[in-house]
Amino acid sequence: MKKTVGRLYLTLVLIFLYAPIATLMVLSFNSSKSRAHWGGFTFEWYLGLISNEEIMDAFRTTLILAFLSAFIATVLGTAACTGMQFMRRRYRSIIMGITNIPMLNADIVTGVSLMLLFIAARVSMGFTTVLLSHITFNIPYVILSVMPRYRELNKSTYEAALDLGAGPVYAFFKVVLPDLMGAVLSGFLMSFTMSLDDFIITHFTQGPGFDTLSTKIYSEVKKGINPEIYALSTIMFLAVLILLFFVNYRPHLDKENVKK
């Protein structure tokens, strides 16, 4: 009895969480443009998507932006964690607090202030400004992911590597980084996802003629929602789902492989 209730509750939660996405997916295969009735199954919107130059352009920009910003943020964030590891506890918690603030800060505040900063510094808006902004808001997510792993790391493995004759850099890449890799990867993925679905900050720091998918969708919506957007969103959702799945199961697969 208890079990049945538990299962029922779980099912309800899952429905609640995924019903909107399921709706979106279903509608992306609906041949009728209406959101209200089912006009039959079609790939039309997916095909239309591929031939829509503007959307494909925005899609490419989004991917490049997400990859670059996540990659740079991961490198910087991991380096920051390494530095913080050698700090006194008090300074470390102060820095941790500071890096957490941008995550809690309202996007619109971050967006507007970044825009003002770029204007004040006379940087012309475009890909560079958006990339810088994305790196900025991604770094805290990397730190959030990497830092706890760092704390539970056996500190003496690094010292053991030095003891056995490794230089500090070699020891870091050979011994410390492999241990952090899971956390670094999930930090990268979190950043990648954050960058993919950011709208507000991009909106304030983009220049004319520059569009990511989210800003593109926003301007399309002004003209009326096109089912192609459903198809696009479905693809994005599945891509992220696959990435997440990969990252969550990676450490597990790693161990299995080595044991063989």
Q: Is 161 one of the binding residues for another protein (CB under 8 A)?
A: yes
Q: Is 167 one of the binding residues for another protein (CB under 8 A)?
A: yes
Choose, by CB under 8 A, the member of 154, 208, 209, 223 that binds another protein: 154
Which of 35, 155 has the CB closer to another protein?
A: 155
Q: Return d(Cα 20, Cα 6) in angstroms, integer.
A: 23
Which of 106, 169 has the CB closer to another protein?
A: 169
3-state class (DSSP) for residue 29: coil
Binding flags for another protein, 200-239, as an x/- string (CB under 8 A): ----------------------------------------
Q: Is 104 one of the binding residues for another protein (CB under 8 A)?
A: no
Choose, by CB under 8 A, the member of 101, 160, 238, 241 that binds another protein: 160
Using CB under 8 A as the binding criterion, the count of chain residues that bind another protein stands at 21
Q: Is 172 one of the binding residues for another protein (CB under 8 A)?
A: no
Q: Helix 177-197 to helix 127-152 angle, to the nearest 10 degrees? A: 140
Choose, by CB under 8 A, the member of 18, 38, 41, 170 that binds another protein: 170
Choose, by CB under 8 A, the member of 12, 31, 32, 163 that binds another protein: 163
Alpha carbon separation from 208 to 105, 193, 211, 212, 220 (Å, rounded): 26, 24, 8, 12, 16
Alpha carbon separation from 22 to 15, 153, 259 (Å, rounded): 9, 40, 39
Nearest one of 113, 114, 128, 121 to 207, comparing CA atoms: 128
- What sign has the CA pseudo-torsion 176, 179, 180, 181? positive
Q: Is 166 one of the binding residues for another protein (CB under 8 A)?
A: yes
Nearest one of 152, 204, 155, 140 to 182, comparing CA atoms: 152
Q: Is 51 one of the binding residues for another protein (CB under 8 A)?
A: no
Residues that bind another protein (CB under 8 A): 154, 156-157, 159-167, 170, 174-175, 178-179, 254-255, 258-259
